[in-house]
Amino acid sequence: MRAAGFDFGTSNSAIGIVKGNAATLAPVEGSSTMIPSAVFFDFADHDKPHYGRDAIDAYVNGNDGRLMRGLKTILSTALISERTALSKRAIPLTDVIAMFSRHLRLKAEEALGAPVDAVVHGRPVRFVEGDDAADARAETTLASLARQAGYGEVSFLYEPVAAAAQYEQNVKQEEIVLVADIGGGTSDFSIVRIGPGRDRASDRRDDILANTGVRVGGTDFDRNLSLAAVMPLFGLGTELVDKQLPMPRSIFDDLAWWPTINLCYTPKIQREAEEIHRLAVEQEKTARLLAVLSKHLGHRIAFAAEQAKIDLTADDSASVGLAFVEAGLAAPMTRETFDEAIASELTRLRLAVWNCLALADVDAENVDTVFMTGGSSLVPAVEAVVRDEIPNASFKRGDDFLSVGLGLTLEAQARYA
Ligand SMILES: Nc1ncnc2c1ncn2[C@@H]1O[C@H](COP(=O)(O)OP(=O)(O)OP(=O)(O)O)[C@@H](O)[C@H]1O
Ligand SMILES: [Mg+2]
């Protein structure tokens, strides 16, 4: 059977194939083996779908249409049964996921030169926290979407276990590793016993000592940064003329989070925003909110917030550029303010590491290596939390964006080849 390993990420995706005896990632956009998990429907061209960087560029260039990002997150929320409006019809959000998945399957087949029948699909340790039934439903939904995308056979592997398999390829001796995969939508941890040759055992269950996962990731960091620095420029936290009425938050919350941005572009929300503007004390700010909604600039704001967050990985201060809303408009941000804005998320990460150690019944001193992967593991405050919990381990990184995809492909080779 010909099998692929598919890392469907909240922010970025990759797909791998087994060619000859080697597991490799397929080029998915030009020569790149990574593609942003984004779909854009072009209203001027019969709702034609664009994928990845191409989708983002079409949106940023101002084409009339609908951009979808953060699609994986909807698997964990009530949005799973929602539709999104295209130019003349509305389609289920689940169909958009299946289209994206099919697009990548076709890329894998192109690279392989043959049809792919089976897939090892990555999944976070928890789609839904604290509700096993809902978590299982999310996996069932994803499996049926993978079949809709054309795979006959679908099985799953925890994303951090996949990353451990990839890391294991290069180790020289047996070790206990804690994998920390901090992505766009979730943070996942596994404690695994690895070593040269161990991957040949048919059953590795005893080597996987514990897995924990929380729904915390880079898209949450973007939202918190936006709520702290950007949304106040659009009226969040300002007063209404009638002091009895507080400024409603929900529009700002939805506008600041990738998966909910499109919910803001309905006539109902437009009317609500006009009412807010009519009553606002600082109308120069709410006027910007009206402009953002009518010009569908929500994703532009999210990209700008994400870019400022990434800048804060290297620098102590950054600025969210908002000139596309108003000439000269920008929101300054310091690393310190950003760390404060994500404090509760950092606490949840700390607890997840702690729980993983407890479940594995391993003391922090007995973890030999911490393998950090996922784009959000680059956030200095995130790395600091993990170092703080496991101070004596050696810290290693692979490719922050590709380890999971490669690990899933190695597993596809083991399961199906
Ligand atoms: N240099 C950086 N500093 C901080 N964050 C970064 C950096 N580079 C990328 N990111 C963030 O990493 C996240 C994407 O990481 P990644 O591609 O690992 O996630 P994903 O696999 O798509 O998501 P998930 O596994 O949670 O479904 C985004 O939120 C992005 O903004
Ligand atoms: Mg990931």
DSSP, residue by residue, 77-131:
SGGGG-EEE-SS-EEEHHHHHHHHHHHHHHHHHHHHTS---EEEEEE-S-SSTT-
**Substitution candidate for ligand 1 out of 69, 376, 377 with most atoms within 8 A of CB:** 376
| C-alpha 219 – ligand 1 centre gap (Å) | 8
- Give the number of domains in the chain: 2
Q: In the listed set 341, 356, 383, which residue is the last one of a domain according to the structure? A: 341
167 and 245 in a single domain? The answer is no
Contacts of 30 (CB under 8 A, 6+ apart): none
Nearest residue by C-alpha to atom 3 in ligand 1: 310
Ligand 1 mean position, distance from CA 21 (Å): 30
Residue 39 CA, ligand 2 centroid: distance in Å: 18
Q: What separation in Å is there between the alpha carbon of 227 and the centre of ligand 2? A: 24
**Same domain assignment for residues 287 and 411:** no
Residue 293: its pLDDT value, please? 97
Centroid of ligand 2 to alpha carbon of 229 (angstroms): 27
Q: Tell me, what's the pLDDT at 204?
A: 79
Helix or strand run (H / E) with residue 320: strand 317-321
Residue 323, both tokens: 């000139």
How remote is the CA of residue 34 from the centroid of ligand 2, in Å? 11
For residue 390, what pLDDT is reported?
98
Could you say which ligand is closest to the alpha carbon of residue 37?
1
Residue 271 in this model has a pLDDT that exceeds 80: yes
Check residue 417 and give its pLDDT. 79
Residue 125 has pLDDT above 80, yes or no: yes
Assess if residue 119 is contained within a domain: yes
- Is 377 within the bounds of a domain? no
pTM of this prediction exceeds 0.75: yes
Answer yes or no: do 223 and 158 share one domain: no
Overall average pLDDT of the 48-58 stretch: 98
Tell me, yes or no, whether 41 lies in a domain: yes
- Ligand minimally distant from the alpha carbon of residue 38: 1
Residues paired with 32 in a beta bridge: 29
Spatial distance between the Cα atoms of 415 and 407, rounded to a whole number of angstroms: 12
CB < 8 Å & 24+ apart, contacts of 315-320: 320/225, 320/226, 320/229, 320/230
Distance CA 391, CA 189 (A): 16
**What pLDDT is attached to residue 237?**
95
Give the domain-ending residue among 341, 359, 379. Answer: 341
The answer to whether position 131 is within a domain reads yes
- Radius of gyration of the chain measured on its C-alpha atoms: 22
Ligand 1 atom with minimal separation from the 159 CA:
25
User: Final residue of a domain: which of 341, 356, 382?
Assistant: 341
| Exposure b/e, 172-184, CB count within 10 A at least 16 = b | eeebbbbbbbbbb
Q: Is 17 within the bounds of a domain?
A: yes
Asked if residue 201 has pLDDT above 80, the reply is: no
Percent of the chain with pLDDT over 90: 92
Domain assignment of residue 114, yes or no = yes
For residue 185, the ligand closest to its alpha carbon is 1
Q: What is the pLDDT of residues 25-46, one digit of tens each?
A: 999 999 999 999 999 999 999 9
Measured distance CA(155)–CA(391) in Å, rounded:
36
pLDDT band at 197 (very low <50, low <70, confident <90, very high): confident
Which amino acid is present at 107?
A: K
- Give the nearest ligand 1 atom to 221 CA: 29
Q: How far is the CA of 217 from the centre of ligand 1 (A)?
A: 8
Instruction: Give the ligand with the smallest distance to the CA of 305.
Output: 1
Point out the ligand 1 atom lying closest to the alpha carbon of residue 373.
18
The verdict on 58 and 166 lying in the same domain is: yes
Task: State whether 167 and 223 are in the same domain.
Answer: no
93 and 36, same domain (yes or no) = yes
Measured in whole angstroms, the distance separating CA 93 from the mean position of its chain's CA atoms is: 16
Q: Does residue 129 sit in the same domain as residue 27?
A: yes
Nearest CA to ligand 1 atom 10: 375
Q: What is the mean pLDDT of residues 303-325?
A: 98
* 72 assigned to some structural domain: yes
Alpha helices in 204-297 (DSSP H): 218-225, 250-256, 267-279, 283-294
Report the alpha-carbon distance of residue 148 to residue 411 in Å, rounded.
Answer: 22
Q: Is the pLDDT of residue 313 over 90?
A: yes
pLDDT band at 363 (very low <50, low <70, confident <90, very high): very high
**pLDDT of residue 400 exceeding 90:** no
Ligand 1: residue whose CA is nearest its atom 8: 375
Same domain, 37 and 129: yes
- Closest C-alpha residue for ligand 1 atom 18: 374
Mean pLDDT of the chain: 96
Same domain for 159 and 35, yes or no, is: yes
* 25 and 124 belong to one structural domain: yes
Q: What is the model's pLDDT at position 41?
A: 98
Query: Within 342-416, where are the H helices?
Result: 343-360, 380-389, 403-416
Residue 109: CATH number of its domain: 3.30.420.40
CA–centroid distance, residue 375 to ligand 1 (Å): 3
Confidence band of 198 (pLDDT split at 50, 70, 90): confident
Looking at the structure, tell me whether residues 405 and 315 fall in a common domain: no
Query: How far are the Cα atoms of 55, 69, 141 from residue 322, in angstroms, in the given order?
Result: 21, 20, 38
Verify that 158 and 226 share a domain, yes or no.
Answer: no
Q: What sign for the dihedral angle of Cα 7, 77, 220, 379?
A: negative
> What residues make up the domain containing 8?
3-172+399-416
Contact 161, 7 (CB under 8 A): no
Tell me whether residue 381 is in a domain. Answer: no
Pocket of ligand 1 (CB under 6 A): 9-12, 72, 159, 183-186, 217-219, 306, 309-310, 313, 374-376, 378-379, 401
Which residue's CA lies nearest to atom 9 of ligand 1? 375
Among 54, 57, 51, 29, which Cα is nearest to 38's?
Answer: 51
Give ∠ CA 177-343-124 in degrees, rounded to 5: 45
Reply yes or no on whether the pLDDT at 202 is more than 80: no
Q: Tokens 């979730």 appear where?
A: 186
